[in-house]
């Protein structure tokens, strides 16, 4: 079945994982506990833990609430995640291609 230039599901999964990683990284950078984020977002500590460990996929509303509880901008974080995934996929693509200079 043709994809018509639409990225596959793995692309979106990679972005989702990266968004979650960036949310956790930002929470830790700000030295916030799950309890503090829970109080600021209305999301339970157990749900925060499940999301951060990749055991639950957050809805858009849940991701927005977590980002608000951390005090970060979710759209900017999503853009950063997309750029990171794109950069990694380009690295992987370059690594798998033969080095044409070595053959000369």
Would residue 61 count as lying in a domain?
A: yes
Would residue 29 count as lying in a domain?
A: yes
Supply 100's token pair: 């044409």
State the pLDDT at residue 6: 66
Q: Please list the pLDDT of the chain residue by residue as tens digits (104 residues).
A: 455 666 778 889 999 999 999 999 999 999 999 999 999 999 999 999 999 999 999 999 999 999 999 999 999 999 999 999 999 988 887 654 444 444 44
State the pLDDT at residue 9: 84
> Tell me, what CATH number does 59's domain have?
1.10.260.40
Would residue 102 count as lying in a domain?
A: no
State the pLDDT at residue 99: 44
How far apart CA 45 and CA 33 sit, in angstroms, is 9
Supply 10's token pair: 């793995």
How far apart CA 4 and CA 59 sit, in angstroms, is 27
Would residue 99 count as lying in a domain?
A: no
How far apart CA 23 and CA 38 sit, in angstroms, is 13
Would residue 2 count as lying in a domain?
A: no
When computed from its CA atoms, the radius of gyration of the chain, rounded to whole angstroms, is 17
Would residue 90 count as lying in a domain?
A: yes
Would residue 76 count as lying in a domain?
A: yes
pTM of the model: 0.80
Number of structural domains found in the chain? 1
Domain that holds residue 82: 9-94
CA torsion angle 22 24 29 32 (round to 10)? 150
Would residue 3 count as lying in a domain?
A: no
């Amino acid at each position: 079945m043709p994809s018509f230039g639409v990225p596959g599901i793995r692309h979106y999964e990679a972005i989702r994982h990266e968004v979650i990683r960036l949310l956790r990284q930002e929470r830790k950078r700000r030295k916030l506990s799950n309890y503090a984020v829970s109080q600021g977002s209305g999301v339970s500590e157990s749900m925060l833990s499940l999301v951060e460990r990749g055991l639950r996929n957050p809805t858009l509303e849940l991701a927005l609430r977590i980002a608000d509880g951390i005090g970060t901008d979710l759209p900017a974080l999503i853009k950063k995640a997309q750029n990171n995934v794109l950069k990694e996929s380009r690295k992987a693509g370059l690594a798998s291609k033969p080095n044409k200079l070595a053959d000369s």
